[in-house]
């Protein structure tokens, strides 16, 4: 499952971090949908019902746009089906923050968006998961290795880098108070610079658009698709988000014009491509939102101190 994430980049950094290549091979940087950069709030501790950055095809908003043109949008976590009849989405009686890949075609809430091509990619620094222990639960932060080969030594360095990066995130948060528009692409369609910061986790999801029965602003919401946990994560939890590893998988998941649903579903595989480290129980309370939430800790420290 996936019930808590972190996404700490400023809006313009999110745009730079998820640049992509078009079908013609040109590198592009997705713009934010009008007004959505202001709706997004960086956070070290995002829970369902919060708003997250989501990548999707621009054609969902502009039917004349190329289907492989991507756009960033702010969407609420927890899919509200378009057919939901109540006047308040909080009246939903069931949770839709996660969607099991095995059940997509069996659930009306997910089958309809899938058939409409409403596929999206949820962006995050990583996600939190809890491992049950004798008298408590130990939280872990799970994310893409930040080096190509991901050896044990490199993973340790990643963790140190993450701690250092977390301490400096206040600067990024201050930057978020400014208008967060994406950089323009050059005339050739190339992004102005290559992103060398934190590699964002790219999770497969489905989205829908709900409008109040009596009229009003449309609400865009999403669900994270989950699969069986990879071997290295099974000791923590038996489920994990369906991770899209690399630009090509992201492109194929979003390109609903070229890649039809049956082929897109084949991308939802268990992948042993994530790393993790234990974090403080501070993250257990979703109101706690500081860099300390994702900093590595020694899980044995408390036990030793209690002796």
Return all residues near 221 (Cβ < 8 A) that are at least 6 apart: 75, 76, 77, 78, 79, 80, 89, 96, 207, 208, 210
Classify residue 160 as exposed, middle or buried by CB count within 10 Å of its CB (0-12, 13-18, 19+). Answer: exposed
- What is the Cα–Cα distance from 5 to 38, expressed in whole angstroms? 19
Q: How many CB atoms lie within 10 A of CB 191?
A: 21
Q: Which two tokens stand for residue 181?
A: 């528009």
Catalytic residue among 18, 70, 129, 176: 129
> What are the C-alpha distances in Å from 280 to residues 152, 233, 252, 298?
22, 18, 37, 9
**What was the pLDDT predicted at 93?**
85
pLDDT for 149-202, tens place per residue?
A: 333 333 334 444 554 444 444 434 333 333 333 333 433 344 457 788 999 999
Mark out the alpha helices in the chain (DSSP H runs): 11-17, 36-39, 108-115, 152-167, 169-175, 247-254, 261-265, 301-306
Whole-angstrom distance, CA of residue 295 vs CA of residue 22 = 36
116-155, pLDDT tens digit by residue? 999 999 999 999 999 998 888 999 999 999 975 333 333 3
Q: Is 2 a catalytic residue?
A: yes
Tell me whether residue 301 is one of the annotated catalytic residues. Answer: no
The Cα 90–Cα 200 span in angstroms is 29
Tell me, what's the pLDDT at 211? 94
**For residues 253 and 157, what is the distance between their CA atoms, to the nearest angstrom?**
31
Q: Give residues with Cβ within 8 angstroms of 292, minimum separation 6.
A: 166, 280, 282
Residue whose C-alpha is closest to residue 208's, from 126, 107, 138: 107
- How confident is the model at residue 134, as a pLDDT? 82
How far, in Å, CA of 220 to CA of 211, rounded? 9
Active-site residue among 2, 99, 120, 293? 2
- Report the distance separating Cα 253 and Cα 258, nearest Å: 10
Low pLDDT (below 50) residues in the chain: 149-160, 163-191, 303-307
What's phi and psi for 144, nearest 5 deg? -70, 140
CATH topology of domain 4-147+193-294: hypothetical protein yedk fold (3.90.1680)
The pLDDT value given to residue 192: 52
99 neighbors 224 (Cβ within 8 angstroms): yes
pLDDT computed for residue 90 by the predictor: 87
């Amino acid at each position: 499952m996936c019930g808590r994430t972190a996404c700490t980049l400023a809006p313009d950094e999110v745009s730079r971090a998820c640049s992509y290549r078009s079908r013609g091979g040109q590198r592009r940087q997705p713009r934010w949908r009008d007004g959505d950069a202001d709706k997004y709030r960086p956070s070290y501790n995002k829970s369902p019902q919060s708003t997250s950055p989501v990548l999707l095809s621009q054609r969902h908003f502009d039917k004349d746009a190329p289907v492989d043109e991507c756009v960033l949008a702010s969407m609420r976590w927890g899919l509200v089906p378009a057919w939901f009849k109540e006047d308040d989405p909080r009246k939903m009686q069931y949770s839709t923050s996660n969607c099991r890949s095995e059940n997509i075609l069996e659930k009306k809430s997910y089958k309809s968006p899938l058939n409409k091509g409403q596929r999206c990619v949820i962006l995050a620094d990583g996600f939190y998961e809890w491992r049950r222990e004798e008298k408590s639960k130990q939280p872990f932060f799970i994310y893409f290795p930040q080096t190509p080969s991901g050896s044990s030594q490199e993973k340790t360095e990643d963790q140190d880098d993450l701690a250092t990066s977390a301490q400096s995130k206040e600067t990024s948060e201050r930057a978020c108070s400014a208008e967060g528009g994406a950089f323009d692409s050059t005339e050739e369609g190339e992004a102005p610079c290559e992103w060398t910061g934190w590699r964002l986790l790219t999770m497969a999801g489905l989205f829908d658009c709900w409008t109040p029965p009596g009229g009003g602003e449309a609400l865009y919401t999403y669900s994270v698709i989950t699969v069986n946990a990879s071997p290295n994560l099974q000791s923590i939890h038996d489920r994990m988000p369906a991770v899209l590893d690399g630009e090509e998988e992201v492109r194929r998941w979003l390109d609903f014009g070229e890649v039809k649903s049956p082929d897109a579903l084949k991308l939802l595989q268990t992948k042993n491509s994530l790393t993790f480290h234990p974090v403080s129980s501070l993250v257990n309370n979703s109101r706690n939102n500081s860099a300390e939430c994702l900093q590595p800790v020694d899980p044995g420290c408390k036990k030793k101190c209690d002796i």
